[in-house]
Amino acid sequence: MLDIECAAAGLPKDAPALMERVARSVCRLEGVDGAGAYVRVVDDETIRAVNAAQRGLDRATDVLSFPTVDFRGGTARDNAALIRREYDPDTGLCFLGDIIISIDRAREQADEYGHSLARELGYLTAHAMLHLCGYDHMTDGDRAKMRAMEDRVMADVSLPREGGSLTDGELFERACAMLDMAYAPYSKFRVGACLLTEDGRVFTGCNVENASLGVTICAERTAAVKAVSEGATKFAAIAIAGESGVAWPCGICRQFLREFGPRMRVIVGKKGGKPETAALDELLPHSFGPEDLLK
């Protein structure tokens, strides 16, 4: 999967295995089985020289990605046919590109955020691999999608965000990014959601309609079911974004969320507008929960 070359001192012994796990998670989530990439871990001076030569930028950065596959109109998961054409029959691999990571910058950022150097190298690997799979952060929407995917990968390898939770504004931004994923051919009312658990993990969701309308699932429950399926049963907040209007959670969603976060924050707004915030127990007063079954 990863061919890792360390051209700088200080690479932790556990870092290569973690970086490999992260890369495999990205490829699995993007549907690119058997993909490979070359990773070179260098010092600040080396990555500064590469930046100057390749980008005309005379400074060190934490990571650089050089994709070999152009995923036009989406990411790797949207280009299955293109991926099949990129497989090398001799190696059985789809080579995605090259990654350069500055261990000096990684060490500085690990100290700043209060986590291990290995974890920071794992995060930078996730960021770089997502670039190789077609993700970018040039626009607000692209940035939100990439950040949501980074969180998903890090949670998948049991390394959720450390050093504090996302702000309500960031949660709402990621909820807005999910509007593009909504399946709403009948109502045309797209909704996106972003759920924050008490342990700092983030799960996104969108509404998914069905020709049998009663089978439709709301964005809030999509995100909540994803969270519970990953072992998260204590919710701190959820942001809900409507494309054409404000989408406060329906009664079923309020009861569903109450099971896992009776006093969680609910952030609701229309894309492009300023969201409002309320506590779930304000939206569902005198509610019924697990503790009532014990009475």
220 assigned to active site: yes
Q: What pLDDT is recorded for position 136?
A: 93
pTM of the model: 0.60
Residue-wise pLDDT tens digits, 256-272:
999 999 999 999 999 99
Query: Which one from 30, 120, 209, 220 is the annotated catalytic residue?
Result: 220
For residue 168, how far is the Cα from the chain centroid? 16
Q: What is the pLDDT of residue 89?
A: 79
Q: Is the model's pLDDT at 187 over the cut of 90?
A: yes
Indicate if the pLDDT at residue 49 is higher than 80.
yes
Report which of 161, 141, 169, 197 is spatially closest to residue 267, judged by C-alpha positions: 169
- 67-123 pLDDT per residue, tens: 999 887 789 988 888 888 888 877 778 899 999 999 999 999 988 877 789 889 999
Angle at 122 between CA 43 and CA 27, to 5 degrees: 120
Q: With a cut of 50, say whether residue 276 has pLDDT above it.
A: yes
Position 161 pLDDT exceeds 90: no
Q: Which CATH number fits domain 168-294: 3.30.1490.20, 3.40.50.300, 3.40.50.2300, 3.40.140.10?
A: 3.40.140.10
CATH of 2-156, one of 3.40.50.620, 3.40.390.30, 3.30.1330.10, 3.40.50.1110: 3.40.390.30
* Higher-pLDDT residue of 54, 201: 54
Calculate ∠ Cα 30-201-260, nearest 5°: 120
**232 vs 89, more confident:** 232
Does the fold of domain 168-294 match that of domain 2-156? no
Question: For residue range 6-29, what is the model confidence (pLDDT) as tens digits?
Answer: 999 999 988 999 999 999 999 988
Tell me how far apart the alpha carbons of residues 99 and 8 are, in angstroms, rounded to a whole number: 15
132 near 37, Cβ under 8 Å? yes
Asked if residues 276 and 269 have their Cβ atoms less than 8 Å apart, the reply is yes
Per-residue confidence (pLDDT) for residue 163, from 0 to 100? 47
Where do the domains of the chain lie?
A: 2-156, 168-294
Residue 11 is which amino acid? L
Separation of CA 8 from chain center: 29
Q: Rounded to an integer, what distance in angstroms lies between the CA atom of residue 244 and that of residue 224?
A: 23
Amino acid present at 219 = A
Q: Which amino acid is at 113?
A: Y
CB 119 within 8 A of CB 159: yes
Q: Where are the extended beta strands (E) located within the chain?
A: 2-6, 35-42, 63-67, 94-102, 191-197, 202-206, 235-242, 265-270, 276-279
CA distance 184 to 182: 6
Closest CA to 204 of 240, 235, 234: 240
Q: Which pairs count as long-range contacts for 233-236, CB under 8 Å and 24+ apart, including other chains?
A: 233/260, 234/197, 234/198, 234/199, 234/260, 234/261, 235/195, 235/196, 235/197, 235/198, 235/260, 235/261, 235/264, 236/165, 236/196, 236/197, 236/198, 236/261, 236/264, 236/265
Contacts 24+ apart (CB under 8 A), 207-210: 207/182, 207/183, 208/182, 208/183, 209/183, 209/184, 209/185
Q: What is the pLDDT of residues 95-110, one digit of tens each?
A: 999 999 999 999 999 8
Name which residue leads in pLDDT, 253 or 163: 253
Q: Is 36 left (phi over 0), alpha (psi -120 to 50) or beta?
A: beta
Q: Which residue has the tokens 């890792």?
A: 4
Average pLDDT value for residue range 232-255: 95
pLDDT for res 74: 86
